[in-house]
Structure 1
Amino acid sequence: MLLFNRAGAPCAHRTLSRWLLPFLLLAWAASACSPTFNWREWRSDSTPLQALMPCKPESAVRPVPLGGTPTTLHMHSCDTGGLTFAIAWAELPDAARAPEALAQWRGAALAAIRLDPALALDAQTQWAARVPGAATVQGLTAQGTTHDNRPVQMRAVYFARGNHIYQAAVYGTRLPDAELTTFFDGLRLP
């Protein structure tokens, strides 16, 4: 439709602006939107573990004592929506040490949120976790405090296959079911 101005001249810019303005607003809105949980497939060359992460993780490697021996721990984590998502793994010299190392790891995770490590064996801290491809799986859930006395909840799964041990965890003041389900259901060892 072609419009005319008061002098009777055609106003092509008005018809253009009627169509262009909504498209520009839509394009601007789409570019301004960034989802809080931008789920993506995560893989590493140093482990067969596959996972879904809601943000681009940062990586770190450090030595830790697990299973009675110094062990290199590989960690990947990211923060989004007030939550921290973390994946970590280590390779033990002997698969027979995996149960002991996983027990120590669960205890250390509880100590990090100022809880008694012995709670790792308490039925109230367990949840029915599963990781396809893992030989051993144990879920751990707890509520504690951070180093600066803020409340924090943790849900984690500890698992092993052969001489590789793993932890996948989510930390936050509140743990939404939808994000927990997506994160933990995305774990697999092919």
Structure 2
Amino acid sequence: MTVFTQWFVMKRVFSVFSFRLPRAAARFLPNFASANRLVCASVACGALLACTPSYDWRTVMNNDDGYEVTLPAKPRSDERKIEIAGQSMTMRMQTAEANDAVFAVGTVVLPSADPQLQRAALDFLQQGLARNVNATPDARATQIDLAAGGRVLGSEIEVKGEGGEKRQSRTIHARFVARGVHVYQLAIVSDKTPPREQAEQFFTSFKLF
């Protein structure tokens, strides 16, 4: 079972990603409450897009893992132990659901900032995520913003394929970056590609401290 599969099924065991992206959250994440359809409120964070009932954007500050991001609904958090390159590590995840898509930020805490270990973790996450739709990741370079200004080099993949017991078609768009003892994975998983402006809202809002 891949790391991303373990995160999203939580208490249920599947051999691959459980691709029941819901119209009600309980159909996909049985231990998650259905996303609240809140009245839109303005978010004081630059030039944010106008809210809709499906996208209730709010800024999340994660001081422990060193980032901020805007998510389209109130996030849920969890953490698990995983093994990368023969070493046990902690992976923490924040997820939010909106308009039949799951938006997630995962953070792997490395035992050291060794560049080879960073690379191993990045490869592990990219390969594991793509395997959920039986795809091969074709990573391309991208830039990740720093909250204090400037950017660091990251990578990005977009894969589409079939997975799960019912072989349902799913789209995954994800970015990855390593900084110090943290490796980050931002991902949108959906049954269809979300509007480009919503995806950009999520990805460009992510900033490292």
Report the AA paired with residue 118 of structure 2.
A
- Residue 123 of structure 2 is matched in structure 1 by 103
Report the more deviating stretch, 134-143 or 174-183: 134-143
- Any gaps of 5 or more consecutive residues in structure 1? 1-30
Report the more deviating stretch, 62-71 or 179-188: 62-71
TM superposition shift of 1:45: 3.5
Q: Which has the greater radius of gyration?
A: 1
Do the aligned partners of 1:112 and 1:146 also contact (CA within 8 Å) in 2?
yes
What is the TM-score normalised by the length of structure 1?
0.74
Superposed CA RMSD in Å reads 1.9
TM superposition shift of 1:127: 4.5
TM-superposition CA deviations, 1:9-66 (whole Å, max 9, x none): xxxxxxxxxxxxxxxxxxxxxx977721011001224211110100111111111112
Number of residues paired by the alignment?
153
Runs (4+) off by over 4 Å: 31-34
Query: 1:27-66 counterparts in 2 under 5 A?
Result: 35-66=53-84
TM-superposition CA deviations, 1:145-177 (whole Å, max 9, x none): 231311000100010111110000001122220
- Look up the SS of the partner of 1:156 in the other structure: strand
- Look up the SS of the partner of 2:207 in the other structure: coil
- Residue 68 of structure 1 is matched in structure 2 by 86
Structure with bigger helix share is 1
Percent of aligned pairs with the same amino acid? 22
CA distance in 1, matches of 2:122, 2:142: 15
Which residue, 120, 141, 162 being the options, matches 1:145? 162
- Residue 129 of structure 1 is matched in structure 2 by 142
**CA 1:126 to 1:32, structure 2 compared with 1: closer, same or farther past 3 Å?**
closer
**CA 1:80 to 1:90, structure 2 compared with 1: closer, same or farther past 3 Å?**
same
What is the TM-score normalised by the length of structure 2?
0.68
Report the AA paired with residue 50 of structure 1.
E
- Residue 183 of structure 1 is matched in structure 2 by 202
TM-superposition CA deviations, 1:81-137 (whole Å, max 9, x none): 01110000011012121011101110011112222xxx23xxxx3345321136440
